[in-house]
Amino acid sequence: MSTRTSATPSASAQSLYHAMSGLAGPLSSGEGTTPDFAAAPRAAAGEEPSVLILGAGVGGLTTAYELGRLGYRCTVLEPQTRTGGRNRTARKGDKLYELDGEGDSPVLTHTCAFDEDLYLNLGPGRIPYHHRRVLKYCTDLGVPLQPYIMETTANVLHSAGHTPPSQPWRNRRIANDTRGHLAALLSAALTESDEFTGLLRDLLVKFGDLDEEGEYHGSTRSGYDEPLDVHEFPRPAPPVPLVELIQSQFWKHRFYQPVDYLWQATMFQPVGGMDKIVHALTERITSEYDVTVVLEAEVTSIDLTGDAVSVTHRSGGQELTTTADYCVSNIPLPVLKRLPLTGFSPGFRNAVAAVPFAPTCKVGWQANRRFWEDDHNQIYGGISWTDHPITQFWYPSNDYFSQTGTLTGAYNFGNHAEDMGKLAPADRLRMARDGAAQLHREFLEKTTVPQDLGVTIAWHKVPHQLGGWADWDPADPDHQVAYKQLLQPEGEGRFYVVGDQASPLPGWQEGAMMSAQYVVAQILGLLPRTAPKTVQVPDAAFLTQGL
């Protein structure tokens, strides 16, 4: 058994220490320079520490990448038949499983029947420009990226009782008519005649596209009342009355989410599917580093009572026990808390049990005709919103002007996800079709969007996952204690937790990679193994849903 690395930062590692303890540390928002562990000292030949990594999600694979290239002997135990965890891209022939009604046995829910060249991201689907870690790993691994469109002014919003089914309001009408009405109200309230008020009134005219009297009667920003014609220039579309906009409560349906920093342009996606990141990580660590990935290896217990970590797992019909100098767990907390954990502190056990994982569902469709790009819709990417339980509807940001494509026909949370997850897969698809038809009548045509080309996933029912992300609440005092606990190791620096679940960005791959880098720095002795006195608990609802 090799000697574990000292926890005292070496002089040559001070720059890396500062990078990790600043914006890149546990209080980070995701910005800042990512650390370069290539500058860290390699493990001495013949004394390479051994590491067991439990779970081949993005956090586990990133840990294996960073430790593997420094000479650590890593073994990744993954219970599924694939790497990636919640980074899951559905393709033709893929089989999807969920737990049955009793929550015990996995059952087949779908065999994906998309055309050979089509795919749909069932987990993460976008990479913000400020997620520097993900972008750097994509660059280092040679994963090509393309723009992901979060919003277009042609996207639509449907609000029951206000916008008729299949006649939803366009994004540009809501945004610009609301701005115009509010600007007119404020302009009318200005009674002073000083220079500042004059400048403010002039700003409001431009801001709301008001007329010379400071009134709003519609704007070409919202579109035209009819198509362009060679004989005359069409008039602006008549504005939606302010009372109708207010009564629709459109702002409660995530209309302004793309304005929040996490979702602001520019965003990216890997060419060919989000799982390209997973494939590249897996290929690199297994072909170039001393990393072994064992699939269908389900961890059944973890023991810290000896001078090493002992992990028991089922593999190939056998019960096996493996020991290592270090153990890094990427196991989702709802799964980890079900395992026998020997030698762990009561504080750690309480932390693992303290935070639930959020329910979330997605639905994907193959459309045999890209109707959203036709002369009527003119939609090229972005998201449409609805108060129907499907919540949102994504259009592809790739393969424009081709014949077919895939659509994300639902992405929901909370009670909507709980209710949807209780339905049989066929009933979920029927519900999702009903919601989609309120945005696009084309969903009434099953030749355009075939029912057998739909797929669904309820992440809170997926084996070995049991949810979308850690549902951290900064107002919960138990979460305050638990989050700090998970940022420091157990067993005298032998056992660590990684993943977006132990990061300031739950639900994001950037969070998983940030957590992996944080733990690697602790193992290398570049960061203290005791968390700071005060840590900020992430607000999962805001960070994942914009609420």
The structure tokens listed for 496 are 């660590």
Round to whole Å and give the CA distance between 316 and 214.
Answer: 75
Q: Which of 201, 233, 195 is nearest to 214 (CA)?
A: 201
Same domain, 349 and 481: yes
Round to whole Å and give the CA distance between 265 and 268.
Answer: 9
Same domain, 33 and 75: yes
State whether the Cα torsion 349-498-540-124 is positive or negative. Answer: negative
Same domain, 366 and 456: yes
Q: Is residue 162 part of a domain?
A: no
The pLDDT assigned to 33 comes to 58
Reported pTM: 0.93
Domain, as residue range, for 517 = 11-83+276-355+470-545
Q: Is residue 203 part of a domain?
A: yes
Q: Is residue 159 part of a domain?
A: no
Q: Is residue 488 part of a domain?
A: yes
Q: Is residue 4 part of a domain?
A: no
The CATH number of the domain where 26 resides is what? 3.50.50.60
The structure tokens listed for 378 are 């003119």
The pLDDT assigned to 228 comes to 79
The CATH number of the domain where 181 resides is what? 1.20.1440.240
Same domain, 482 and 412: no
Q: Is residue 131 part of a domain?
A: no
Same domain, 371 and 240: no
Same domain, 492 and 446: no
Round to whole Å and give the CA distance between 418 and 25.
Answer: 34
The pLDDT assigned to 395 comes to 98
Q: Is residue 338 part of a domain?
A: yes
Question: For residue 75, how far is the Cα from the chain centroid?
Answer: 26
The structure tokens listed for 511 are 């969070």
Residues in the chain, pLDDT under 50: 1-31
For residue 500, give every residue at least 6 positions away whose Cβ sits within 8 Å of its Cβ, in sequence order, or none.
58, 59, 469, 470, 506, 507, 508, 509, 510, 511, 512, 515
Q: Is residue 195 part of a domain?
A: yes
Taking 3-state DSSP, the helix, strand and coil percentages for the chain, each rounded to the nearest 5, stand at 35, 20, 45
pLDDT tens across 163-206, in order? 888 789 999 999 999 999 999 999 999 999 999 999 999 999 99
Same domain, 332 and 406: no
Same domain, 450 and 487: no
Same domain, 378 and 405: yes
The CATH number of the domain where 103 resides is what? 3.90.660.10
Same domain, 374 and 323: no
Round to whole Å and give the CA distance between 10 and 6.
Answer: 9
The pLDDT assigned to 231 comes to 75
**Domain total for the chain?**
3
Given 461, 487, 502, the domain boundary residue is: 461
Q: Residue 328 in contact with residue 62, Cβ under 8 Å? A: no
The pLDDT assigned to 214 comes to 95
Given 461, 485, 506, the domain boundary residue is: 461
Give the H/E segment covering residue 3. none
Same domain, 350 and 499: yes
pLDDT tens across 235-294, in order? 888 999 999 999 999 999 999 999 999 999 999 999 999 999 999 999 999 999 999 999
The pLDDT assigned to 67 comes to 97
In the block, tokens 């897969």 appear at: 425
Q: Residue 388 in contact with residue 434, Cβ under 8 Å? A: yes
Given 430, 461, 492, the domain boundary residue is: 461
The pLDDT assigned to 29 comes to 38
The pLDDT assigned to 40 comes to 85
Same domain, 349 and 363: no
Round to whole Å and give the CA distance between 498 and 40.
Answer: 20
In the block, tokens 């690697």 appear at: 520
